[in-house]
Every structure is written in C-alpha cells, then in structure tokens.
Amino acid sequence: MANRRTNPDFLNGVPELLILQLLEQRPMYGYELVQAIVRSTGERLEFGEGCIYPLLHRLESEGTLTARRQQVGGRERVVYRVTRKGKGKLAEAAARWRHVAAAVTMVLQGGIHEQRQPGIA
Amino acid sequence: MANRRTNPDFLNGVPELLILQLLEQRPMYGYELVQAIVRSTGERLEFGEGCIYPLLHRLESEGTLTARRQQVGGRERVVYRVTRKGKGKLAEAAARWRHVAAAVTMVLQGGIHEQRQPGIA
DNA sequence: TGGGATACCTGTAACCGTGAGGCATGGAGG
DNA sequence: CCTCCATGCCTCACGGTTACAGGTATCCCA
C-alpha cells in the first residue's frame, strides 16, 4: 500500500487505477473486468486474472469496493461496485497518475531543461 | 527484463527510462543523475541512489551505457554516456511509454467506451 | 573537531504482476 | 455421448523492480 513513500504508487499501481475507473463507469464482475481492461485500452494493456482477482479482494476488504453475488444461468458472478470512499480514492489516484505522467512526458520532451519553479524555496 | 510479457515493461520501468533520456541529453555521473531526476520532474519523482546505482551498473553491463572514471578535486566520479545501442533502446522505451500512457489516459477520460478499431481482426 | 555535502557502493525486504495451475458449469460439435 | 472450449471463480510460486537503510571516503566550512 505504499504508506508514504518518496514516490507515488504509480509506477506500478496502474491495474488498481484502471479497475476503479472502469468500475465507476459501470459495475462489473471480475472476468468481465479483465476483458474490459483489454478493450478499453485498445489491446494495449492486459492484466491476467491472477492479478485482478486478488486486487478486487483487497479493494473490497479496504472498503473501496462492495461485492454482490449473482446467479446467472447456473454460473456465479461477483459484481463489484465502487463505494463512496472508493470514488474519493479514484479521484486522488487519477490526479496522481496525471501528475506523474506529466512529469515523465515532460522529461521525454527533453527540450525543457532545468526549469525553475519560483514557488518552492 | 520482461522478455515478451503480456504488458510492456512500463508499469515500473520508469527509472530506467528517465536515466536513458537524461543521459542522452548530457552525460552525467550517478550522484548528479539522482538530483537531475528530481529537478527535471519538478520534484515530482525521486529515486534514491540505492535504485539508480544498481541500474547504472546493469545498463553498463548490458552495453546500453559506457562508464568513464574521472578525478575531480580528490573525488571520483563515474560519468555515464549512452551508447548507440542505448539510443535505440531509449527510442523504443519512450515509444512504449507514450503508448501505455495514452492507453491509461484514454481510460481515465472515460467518455470513450468500448471503441472499436477496424484495423484489428 | 564536527558536521554536512559530495560521491561511490551493497544488501535486505517488500511489493507487484506473471503465469500456471485448479475447480465447476454450460453450450457447441463430432 | 463425449469432448472441448468459453465462462467464471480462485490460489500459489516465482521473478523482477524498487525502497530504504546502511557503509565508505573525501572535502569544506564553522
């Protein structure tokens, strides 16, 4: 969970971010979510079930998601929904992602060396 | 090194990417590089020496970087430079970063659900 | 004399994601 | 009828990367 680290958790917290974002758009069950990630990233990203399911369990136990079991044609589905608390987490997480992505992209653009920002010390 | 994984190596390969990019702009020594990362990301990212030095060693042994020892006022510096091969790696890595970042940002924008791309199967 | 900045290094631990499994149901095809 | 594949859930072991806390040595300034 990265309790106060020097860097935000976004150099590997991408799956969690995507889960929150996609589930906020629409409640889904795990298997569905795995495929939704593939779809919505245009086949660029693909996280296996072995990555997603444990994450869903953790997010639920944190109170970020709620789970509801469903029976559909003899098959069971566990549908997840983002809680109010989860929406807050998503907002923070998305903001941090943009912050980090902007930083990296900035460096990649390269032209802008050593910019000074007057606000800090 | 993520030899053909389902996902590109960019959900955690950021330090390597920044090292390559910054060293391509200008050769630097380790200690300097650590601070350059802080600077050039506007204090958003900070990787400790314990992260950077081992990476430099690995990149050197891969042939991505070359090291040259220098004596400056009784202190030793190891200046790193990107090889031709390294420039190739940087280009690929940067492209992959943009690819991934675009995917995540796309999902975050959210409005665009389930877009179909006619090119693929 | 002490401390802080410079400058290098290593090792341990934690974390995350991968990939390969295991289980069960339902439907399609031979 | 039997088999295979897609669905749908799950767990575990492994590997790679990063974090953090060390350790060494020099130099400069107070």
Provide the CA B3 to C1' C28 distance, Å, integer: 37
The domain defined by A11-104 folds into Arc Repressor Mutant, subunit A (1.10.10)
Per residue in B32-65, pLDDT tens?
A: 999 999 999 999 999 999 999 999 999 999 999 9
Q: Is the CB of A50 under 7 A from strand D?
A: yes
In chain A, which ranges are continuous DSSP H helix? Answer: 14-25, 30-40, 49-62, 84-109
Per residue in A1-49, pLDDT tens?
A: 434 567 777 778 999 999 999 999 999 999 999 999 999 999 999 999 9
User: What confidence tier does B111 reach under pLDDT thresholds 50, 70, 90?
Assistant: low
Nearest-Cα residue of chain A relative to residue B100: A44
The domain defined by B10-106 folds into Arc Repressor Mutant, subunit A (1.10.10)
Listed by start position, the domains of chain B span: 10-106
Tell whether the model's pLDDT for residue A57 goes beyond 90.
yes
Per residue in B63-100, pLDDT tens?
A: 999 999 999 888 899 999 999 999 999 999 999 999 99
Residue B77: nearest nucleotide (C-alpha to C1')? C7
pLDDT for res B11? 81
- Residue ranges of B 21-50 with Cβ closer than 8 A to chain A: 21-22, 25, 39-48
- CA A81-A35-A75 angle, to 5 degrees, is 70
Q: Is the CB of A49 under 7 A from strand D?
A: yes
